Amino acid sequence: MEYTLGIDVGSSFIKIALIEYSDNPKIIEITNEKIRKRNPTILINKAVNDLLERHNLKYEELLYVASTGEGELVERKRGHFYSMTTHAKGAFHFHPETKTVVDMGALFCRVMSLESGSRVKNYAMTGQCASGSGQFLENITRYLGVTIDEVGPLSLESKEPAKLSGICAVLAETDVINMVSQGIATSDIIKGIHESIARRIVSLLSKLKVESPVALSGGMSQDVGLVEVIKQLADERNLSLEIFATKNCYANGAIGAALWGGYRHYKLLEVAQ
């Protein structure tokens, strides 16, 4: 059996995917490590060593080790792949019907429309402001005294979502502090934040005139509340899109990198022959 490893270094989490590489690749394990102000390079080395140990594998036995995201932080790798390519590959491989991928990460959100399989035809991303990012959402949870895992279910409970500034993260944070002091329900504040982020994403979907189905990817895809609001807003704008998130889709970048690694390995062998 042959194995490839994909390492996606984000600004908040490091995702690693170990894949059994064949014509029909299988995910063996995915790890997700929060950086928490630690040295990412040391963290990556430890996470890779632990992962390989759990599967009785040695680094040298791996067919290909690929990085994506902030790849320069990965010391032991054979190649690096750009993150749009890897997210598209990861999403498409296990759901070949996918026509559009939305990568929702800590720093930004990015919509990619695909053609001829996982080839990225066009893209659009959120601007400089952090208010469309996962990091913003995480910062807000601190004011509200909830954990990031509680955010999704709380949002689903909201009856009357609050209205927040959708333009500036700083203004939105001020809005949230005011709302807390006014006694507005936490669930309504959270859904308000979700709507603010979702509006940006749905605008990107509309701007690119994407096709259905739309696969969500990146860390925020695990937030059931946000996913629900994105679907609602897309429906309100009559975009007629099937939008879905899957269990492992937060790690699509790492999965895609591992898959591209295997592909490149055999392509290079072909060229050499």
Partner 1 sequence: MAQLEAQKKLKIILENYFVGMKAPVAWCTSAGPAEILRALGFEVYFPENHGAMLGATRLAGKYIPKAHRAGFSGEICSYLTADIGAWLMKETPLTNAYGLKSIPKPDMIVFNTNQCREVAEWFNFYGREFNCPVVGIYPPRYLEDVSKSDIDNVVAQFKEVISVGENVLGKKLDPHELEKVVALSYEGTQLWKQVLDTARKKPSPLSFFDGTILMAPIVMLRGTKICVDFYKETLSELEELAKTQQEDSNQLRLYWEGMPIWGRLRSMAQFFNDNNSVVVASTYCNSWIFDDFNPKNPLESMASAYTKIFINRGENTKLAYMEKMLNDFDIDGIIFHDAKTCFNNSNNRFGLPKRLKDSTRIDTLTIDGDLNDLRFFSDGQTQTKLETFLEQLKSKKRISV
Residues that bind partner 1 (CB under 8 A): 11, 81-85, 107-108, 110, 119-120, 122-123, 125, 127-128
Residue whose CB is less far from partner 1, 108 or 136: 108
Q: Is 183 left (phi over 0), alpha (psi -120 to 50) or beta?
A: left
Residue whose CB is less far from partner 1, 115 or 242: 115
Query: Considering the complex, what minimum distance in angstroms separates the CB of residue 133 from partner 1?
Result: 10
Residues 16, 75 contacting (CB under 8 angstroms)? no
Residue whose CB is less far from partner 1, 110 or 231: 110
Residue whose CB is less far from partner 1, 68 or 248: 68
Residue whose CB is less far from partner 1, 31 or 86: 86
Query: Considering the complex, what minimum distance in angstroms separates the CB of residue 224 from partner 1?
Result: 26
Query: Considering the complex, what minimum distance in angstroms separates the CB of residue 187 from partner 1?
Result: 31
Q: At what angle do helices 134-144 and 169-182 cross, to 10 degrees?
A: 20
Query: Considering the complex, what minimum distance in angstroms separates the CB of residue 120 from partner 1?
Result: 6
